Amino acid sequence: MDFPKQEGRLTFNVGQRNTSLDIYLTPDLASTRPTPKRFQVELYNATGGTRVHPLFGVANVTLVSNAASEAVWLILEQLHQPLDSTILNQVLQRLINEVSTHLSREQMAAVLEALGKVLAEAERAPLQESSRNLTYNLLCALANPSRVDTRGLSHLAEVAERFAFSLLTQRQCEM
């Protein structure tokens, strides 16, 4: 187990809105699985008339091996908020820019996770045409036969299939 569960207490003074939290990692207990490695920090059981906001009480922490991977994972962070076509388009365009070169396994994991979040949104409500086109362009870039980093990546086929089915969201099929 990379991150054993730990609990602690945060105390806020009256009127204080922010505080810092120290997280001690234990690399000597880490698994041999490669990065990225993720864990969550969750705030709960607020007392004294305070409350934890339901959308902002959980923070995802991702550990990566280098700055290039960090850049791709930071794009993914934009998808942890209410999404509209402007945000989706910005994220998709940045991902398209990132996939213009060979990606490491760690970077590819971030791209595929981001695509999963975009497609979850597309399965709830149809994407705007611009977002659909950018998603298509991203998938085409990843499916390019000359790419070595996606060769044999069966998860990419699953993502492409999800995209195809998302095009039918809230549409009637004629029989």
Q: Model confidence over 22-79: pLDDT tens digits?
A: 887 777 777 788 888 888 889 888 888 888 888 788 888 888 999 999 999 999 989 9
Whether 1 shows a pLDDT value over 70: the answer reads no
Where are the chain's structural domains?
1-63, 65-175
Give 170's contacts (C-beta < 8 A, 6+ positions apart). 125, 126
Provide the CA 27 distance to its chain's centre, in angstroms: 24
81 band by pLDDT with thresholds 50, 70 and 90:
confident
Task: Round to whole Å and give the CA distance between 146 and 87.
Answer: 30
What six digits make up the tokens of 164? 């195809």
For residue 170, what pLDDT is reported? 86
User: Tens of pLDDT along 126-171?
Assistant: 999 999 999 999 999 999 999 999 998 889 999 999 999 999 988 8
Return the amino acid letter for 144. Answer: N
CB count in 10 Å sphere of residue 50: 7
Is-contact 85 98, C-beta < 8 A?
Answer: no
Whole-angstrom Cα distance, residue 76 to residue 66? Answer: 16
Angstrom distance (rounded) from CA 68 to CA 60: 19
